[in-house]
Structure 1
């Protein structure tokens, strides 16, 4: 009886999980389907749109109108660059909080996290003026700095939870063997925290790739990533649904593939230390 109940519960949970997963993924699926339709078919009723002929017309028009390769490369540079910069800052910071804790470590962590709660538009004007005065508008370097700073609290928090799981006795043994602080972080702590660092890197790359507010406000053409590429298909004349869907599909495809192959690592990174 118990076995039957367990099997029934497992079946119900599986069906519920697949149903929720489908509901979450449905907007992406619908966007992908619409991208293979013409503009005329894209505005039809849902059933009529699905039964209309498939076409690559929207993809051809998007390729002719926009420089996808440039936007894609900018997204790669911004996401990977900001992730590396954030890790360079966050690894020593998380190490100091995890292994040299002070009385106000938790307060500091909460303050860092609280900076993510402020609406970005609240600092838009001063940030824009700083970028204008320092000549950083429409530059990759400026956007890398911004993306690094806005995602740094999350990176520090995640690395902190991973580092807290490493026994401090191992680091003490390394110190007794004569390891310097630099050697302790690079050759003892970092190799043991590789799974956590990898999860943090993947999550930060996704967050930076999907960042739209700052990339739309601080870029125009040269440093414009794929978020700007998508936004260019919204015009005062109206929305070009098929082209917009094609551009969106081309923008999310790389990160969707990355997330698919690294989903286990991402889930671990998102849930690790949640109980704490």
Structure 2
């Protein structure tokens, strides 16, 4: 029998949740406000929260100095491309591990996850040389490939977890009806795991969109995404906080909007199979 939650406890939980939410969201709010300040107001002491001279000159100057839409398009192609390519590879891999496991399946999964524990800089030089020698340096194709490989362990792990919640008897029934392996995956398994696949897709789009290390080191201009766009406002002369905040706001706004409209699907997918 479930325990009754008292009104005081509900209020306490709500207050704590709001405090945590405000603390998490405050840096984004401060960046947004700073983007409308002059450089003088941005470094004023004590800081000015709302009562300052609001201006759009930072956004005008950022757009005049950099081609925002070119960087935005690169981010869209790289994040969506790497995620979709990862799903194409990860779905069959997760299916094999979930429904045809071997004694080494868990070891393979742990090995895949362990690759995320290595500092990226440890593999930078060989990957940079490979990209330079193959002509993939500063190309969308190269960044799509490297980000797909970086996030592939997470995609496989998440899909494996979702697929394990699907009864194997359903797939066996499809085989008895004459479904081939490909049809089993496409027409039976995939529709049943849509919430999990959707949350995996959304999470990995966010990870790819925010990836900075590899995009900064493997791109310069042609394939530079929004992370490189932001970094360009850090100069030897110093940080121009107002312009940097405007560039950051323009870079994170699309992914924030995507996250806001897809939050229900994301939560549904992340809790898929948690309650039986």
Partner of 1:102: 102
Shift of 1:265: 2.5
Normalized against structure 1, the TM-score is what? Answer: 0.96
Distance 1:45 1:274, change over 3 A: farther
Shift of 1:51: 1.3
Give 1:176-187 correspondences, 5 Å limit. 176-187=176-187
Partner of 1:226: 226
Partner of 2:144: 144
Q: Secondary structure at the match of 1:51?
A: coil
Separation in 1, partners of 2:108, 2:152: 13
Separation in 1, partners of 2:68, 2:199: 28
Is this contact kept in 1: 2:196–2:270, CA < 8 A? no
Separation in 2, partners of 1:92, 1:33: 46
Separation in 2, partners of 1:52, 1:46: 12
Partner of 2:44: 44
Structure 2: gaps spanning 5 or more residues: none
Partner of 1:131: 131
Partner of 2:21: 21
More moved, 256-265 vs 112-121: 256-265
Which whole-Å deviations, capped at 9, do the CAs of 1:213-272 have from their partners, x for residues lacking one?
000000000000000000000000000000000000000000001111112332344455
Normalized against structure 2, the TM-score is what? Answer: 0.96
Shift of 1:56: 0.5
Distance 1:271 1:192, change over 3 A: closer
Separation in 2, partners of 1:40, 1:237: 16
Distance 1:225 1:64, change over 3 A: same
May I ask how many residue pairs the two structures share in their alignment? 273
Is this contact kept in 1: 2:33–2:49, CA < 8 A? no
Over the aligned positions, Cα root-mean-square deviation in angstroms equals 1.5
Partner of 2:115: 115
Structure 1: gaps spanning 5 or more residues: none
Which whole-Å deviations, capped at 9, do the CAs of 1:180-207 have from their partners, x for residues lacking one?
0000000000111111100000000000
Is this contact kept in 2: 1:78–1:208, CA < 8 A? yes
Runs of 4+ displaced beyond 2 Å: 45-50, 264-275
Q: Secondary structure at the match of 1:48?
A: coil
Separation in 1, partners of 2:213, 2:142: 14
Is this contact kept in 2: 1:158–1:269, CA < 8 A? no
